[in-house]
Amino acid sequence: MSERLAIEELLHAEHLPHLWCPGCGIGMVTGAFLRAVLALGLRREETVVVGGIGCSSRAVGYIDVGTVHAIHGRALAFATGIKMARPEFTVVVITGDGDGAAIGGNHLIHACRRNIDLTCILFNNRVYGMTGGQLSPTMEAGRRASTAPYGQTEPAFDLCELARAAGATFVARGIAAEVRALEKMIRQGIEHRGFSFIEALVPCPTEYGRRNPPAGAVDMLLSDKARAVSVSEAAAMSQQELQGKIVTGILHHDSDKSEFQAGYAELVARVQGNRGTLGGN
Amino acid sequence: MAQRSFLEVRFGGSGGQGVILMGVILAMAAARDHRYVVQTQSYGPEARGGYSRSDVIISDSQIDYPELQGIDLLVVLSQAAADHYVGLLRATGVFVFDAERVASPPRFRGPSYGVPFVRLAVEETGREQVANVLTLGAVVALTGVVSAQSLRQAVADVVPKGTEEWNERALSRGLALRAEEWLRSNA
Amino acid sequence: MERWHYHALQEAIDSSTLLVQGNRACALGALDAGVRFFAGYPITPSSEIMETMAYELPRVGGVFLQMEDEIASICACIGAALTGTLAMTATSGPGFSLMQEAIGYATMVEAPLVIVNVMRVGPSTGRPTAPSQGDVMQARWGTHGDHPAVVLAASNVADMYRLTMAAVRFAQRFRTPAILLADEVVGHMRESFSTELIGRYRLTSGDFDFTPSYVHPEMVREVHPPHVLGSKTHPHVTGLMHDETGFPTDDPAKSDQFLRQLHDKIGNHRDELCLYDVKNEGKGRVCIVAYGSCARSARAALRLAEQEGLPVEVLHLYTLFPLPVEIIQEVARRVEFMLVPELNLGQYAREIRKMAENWTTVISMGKVDGTLLTPREIVDRVAELIGKYESV
């Protein structure tokens, strides 16, 4: 079967066309995710994708594995419950910058801290698309939004730095314009045993581009690409040279840290093994 | 007091004195004596200091209303608790207090007994923490509110590992308190 | 199951009586009912439920999680429930408020789930160690939109055990979240608790089937087919209005049908869901209608009233929602007054009034000072009512 045909098998054809706008980058990264699922040969019955609320989270409605369209900001909490109840599942969270970093920011840092074996793909379009272009915590200062008509005055989150500092053991960033690289990062993220955080920068011409130049989808993709530098290139650059750049690639990878679910399973084995000698409560 | 078919007991003191645990141990002992029992408590947000009280109802039939409507036996380890609760003692009740921690015992017309429980605990074991168990032993010896055997078992069930010996010594000291050690008034 | 018997007996006094704390009894009831997943966040006065689960769940191979907040706690429980795992969380007012959105989600996706709320005096931080029944209408209407609710109320330690079991059973049978309310005093008190009760209320295996996709045969027409993660259907689950396929729909007819079915599966089974007990049945001119700790005050008041020659009966409600319409109206037809003592300012009295006012006079007796209503206070009010009636 060709890759294209195989990917169609992973989609709910009856629910297409999708609701994303022309030029939106979410479909590109969703495609990268599907190719990664295919390449890894994941079984549908044991693969669960959880989304929150927002444009990117809607991807779960098109993907034909077990899918949960959760409530706003809580996809990681749902996913934690699913993974702990069924450790054999591959559980992936698809979220956005508003869902994952604003309302769901607390769950993000704690999922990182636990290093639970989930893969979180955060589609960062730097704006609230579904609700009409309001500002997001990843929007850079000076940019405009429907709730920042005079320009964003707050600094933006660096979500990869946040994830790494909070304890995630696989942290990567990619851009929609380099979608094959993203696909590889997602594949590695799913394979990594521990919490994987992948930030995918995607253009939103409808709500971001129309208020902030460059406006068109292609120009937005090219703009991100022009700013992108790889991890190895960045290593040779000064802080000043890195200003305004987007560092892409695998930013952090630690295979030694204990994974949460495995740690819990060990605890259960220890407690059950020692049942006769444990003290009362 | 052992013969009463319905008995309301209050332990009062400040946080950290083990007052809540006194109620729990007495309730466990009463349950071991095959009686219906309800234990409730009230305390401030502080883990140490503040106020603390623990109530036990012991009955021969199902207990409906779970809180005290009067006090038959009041045991207090602080002046504030003594002042606060003595007014709820029934005329037929018994008042027991720490003779040093309650420097000026409030007036009560029924039998009142003062013993320096905390000092005795320190003298016996070197540890103030077991004053609650010593007090319970003394109260049971005085009133027979539960059987000594059930009390011993209840204490053994709840005391933390590593403290069994001190608690056992404190309990025995309390149970064996001599008549002349009770400072009795108003009898 | 026998294992749990053993743990329950750790505090045993003899073969038939134990001294157990209400919150601990709740946890033991959950474990005996098959709950194998608990996610929670510490909060007074419910924390002992969580602490007991933290100790016991690993011993039976279950999952215990302390999450970052109450929202995460209930969402993790829903995630587990979607895989067919029996899950429970426990909290108090502030945490219960945070859980409301997710309770609506669980209702919408028909996820079986038990939520225990040990009530403190509120609003806001209120008085964490004082009893209240202030969250009754929140339990009914806390989450947004038209939704059904299953809400039980515990009055003593034995209730904490058996009503937790009942909540698990209702949640699973009706595929919906079930809420158990307890007043702080019920959660924190220790009480002699007969192990005979454990035997009597332990659910027989016939009541339960833990197969994730299981639907009780009698409920097949009334609940939507469960969408279980990990099954061959690899389903889609969403809080958006959806049809029986699980996928979103904006179709007015399907939307209407779906919402009505959610309500009907509860409302059509009041005979099974509504648990109550009548004392001194048919002998009262005044019926004291009470739940939670107030039901204990009411029972004590009944004894006092009998001594004083006042004709009183007591209707003790264990199920607050769905509304026990039938028994309320049956009693309303025969008594002159229904007196409703509550540790709130008349939340449930208003519900009773709606059901009963055609036949009787419903009197609310609320108390919100953080102390219990005493039997004396209730009897005095009864005497006043009867006296007033006689002087008319």
pLDDT 10s digits, B29-88 = 998 888 899 999 987 666 666 788 999 999 988 899 999 999 999 999 999 999 999 999
- Residue partners of A240: CB distance under 8 A and separation at least 6: none
* CB pair distance less than 8 Å for C51 and A281: yes
Q: What is the pLDDT of residues A35-50, one digit of tens each?
A: 999 999 999 999 999 9
Residues of A in contact with C70 (CB under 8 A): none
Average pLDDT over residues A234-255: 97
Q: Is C141 exposed, middle or buried (0-12, 13-18, 19+ CB in 10 A)?
A: middle
* C128 cis-preceded (ω within 30 degrees of 0): no
Let me know: does A84 contact A264? Beta carbons within 8 Å: yes
Average pLDDT, chain A: 95
Q: Is the peptide bond before A17 cis (omega within 30 degrees of 0)?
A: yes
Alpha-carbon gap, residue C164 to C177, rounded angstroms: 12
Please compute the mean of the pLDDT values over residues B92-109 and round it to a whole number. 95
Q: What are phi and psi of B12, to 5 degrees?
A: -135, 150
pLDDT in tens, C143-172: 999 999 999 999 999 899 989 988 998 999
What are chain B's partners, defined as 3 or more CB pairs within 8 angstroms? C
Confidence at B183, pLDDT banded by 50, 70, 90: confident
pLDDT value of residue C200: 54
Q: Which residue in chain C is spatially nearest to B26 when comparing CA positions?
A: C19
Return the exposure string of C142-170: e unless at least 16 CB atoms fall within 10 Å of the residue's CB, then b: bbeeebbbbbbbbbbbbbbbbbbbbbbbb
Higher pLDDT, A209 or A275: A209
Please report the pLDDT score of residue C391 as a whole number: 55
> For residue C216, what are its two tokens?
């009780």
Q: What are chain C's domains?
A: 2-207 (3.40.50.970), 278-391 (3.40.50.920)
pLDDT cut 90: percent of chain C above it: 78
Give chain B's length. 187
CATH number where B91 lies? 3.40.920.10
| Per-residue pLDDT tens digits for C48-63 | 999 999 999 999 999 9
> What is the structure's pLDDT at C211?
64
The shortest C-alpha distance from C176 to chain A (Å) reads: 16
In chain A, count of helices (H) and strands (E)?
11, 10
* Bridging pattern class, strands B183-185 and C17-21: unpaired
Chain C: residues touching B (Cβ < 8 Å): 11, 13-14, 17-19, 128-129, 156, 185, 188-192, 293, 296-297, 299-300, 303, 371-372, 374-376
* B185 band by pLDDT with thresholds 50, 70 and 90: low
Residue A263 phi, psi dihedral angles, 5° rounding:
-65, -40
Mean pLDDT is lowest, of A29-38, A267-276, C17-26, for: A267-276
Give the minimum alpha-carbon distance from A97 to chain C in angstroms, rounded to a whole number.
18
The predicted-structure confidence for C22-40, as pLDDT tens digits, reads as follows: 999 999 999 988 999 999 9
Q: Is A268 on the interface with C (CB under 8 A)?
A: yes
Query: Between β-strands A170-175 and A196-201, what pairing exists: parallel, antiparallel or unpaired?
Result: parallel
The per-residue pLDDT for range C309-338, each reduced to its tens digit, is: 999 999 999 999 999 999 999 999 999 999
| Whole-number pLDDT of residue B113 | 95
pLDDT band at C175 (very low <50, low <70, confident <90, very high): very high
Q: Output C324 or B3, whichever has higher pLDDT.
A: C324
Q: What is the pLDDT of residue B130?
A: 95
CATH node for A3-277 = 3.40.50.970
Pair A119, A189: CB distance under 8 Å: yes
- Whether residue A214 is preceded by a cis peptide bond, meaning omega within 30 degrees of 0, is yes
Total domain count, chain B: 1
The share of chain B scoring above pLDDT 90, in percent, equals: 77
* 3-state DSSP of C219-249: HCCCCCCCCCCCCCCCCEEECCCECCCCCEC
Reported as a pLDDT band with limits 50, 70 and 90, residue C389 is low
pLDDT at residue A278, as a whole number: 41
Look at residue B20 and tell me if it is in a domain.
yes
Residue of A nearest to C53 (CA): A281
Give me the residue spans of the domains in chain A.
Answer: 3-277
pLDDT at C12 over 80: no
CA separation for the pair B187, C16 (Å, rounded): 40
Is B179 among the domain residues? no
φ, ψ dihedrals at C92, nearest 5°:
-135, 175
Two structure tokens written together for C24: 């601990």
A43 interfaces chain C, CB cutoff of 8 Å:
no
Q: Give the pLDDT band (50/70/90) at residue C1.
A: very low
Asked if the structure places residue B21 within a domain, the reply is yes
Q: Which of C19, C129, C376 sits opposite B31 (nearest CB)?
A: C19
- pTM for the full model? 0.94
The answer to whether residue B184 sits within a structural domain is no
> By three-state DSSP, how is residue C388 classified?
helix
Mean pLDDT of B170-184: 88
A169 with A192: CB under 8 angstroms?
Answer: yes
pLDDT, tens only, C255-264:
999 999 999 9
Which carries the bigger pLDDT value, residue C221 or residue A219?
A219
Question: What local confidence, expressed as pLDDT, does residue C217 receive?
Answer: 76
What band does C219 get if pLDDT is binned at 50, 70 and 90?
Answer: confident
Which of C53, C63, C98, C113 is the best residue to mutate to test the A interface, defined by the most A CB atoms within 10 Å of its own CB? C63
Distance from CA of B65 to the nearest CA of C (A): 5
CB A81, CB C74: distance < 8 Å: no
Instruction: Provide the percentage of residues in chain A whose pLDDT is more than 90.
Output: 94
Domain with B58, as residue range(s), is 6-115+143-159
Residue C185 has pLDDT above 80, yes or no: yes
How would you class C278 by CB atoms within 10 Å of its CB: exposed for 0-12, middle for 13-18, buried for 19 or more? Answer: middle
Structural element, H or E, at residue A68: strand A66-69
CA nearest to C193 within chain B: B36
Rounded to whole angstroms, the Cα distance separating A65 from C232 reads: 10
Residues of C in contact with B67 (CB under 8 A): 185, 371-372, 374
Q: 3-state SS of C126-185?
A: CEEEEECCCCHHHHHHCCCCCCCCEEEEECCHHHHHHHHHHHHHHHHHHCCEEEEEEEHH
Strands A246-253 and A228-230: parallel
pLDDT of residue A6: 86
pLDDT at C212: 64
Contact C76, A84 (CB under 8 A): yes
Q: In this predicted model, what pLDDT tens digit does every residue of C364-385 receive, in sequence order?
A: 999 999 999 999 999 999 999 9
Percent of chain A scored above 70 by pLDDT?
Answer: 97
- Is a pLDDT exceeding 80 seen at residue A27? yes
Mutate to test the interface with B, among C159, C184, C189 (most CBs of B within 10 A): C189
- Residue A120 corresponds to which tokens in the numbers above? 């979180």
**Confidence at C8, pLDDT banded by 50, 70, 90:** very low
Is residue B180 in some structural domain? no
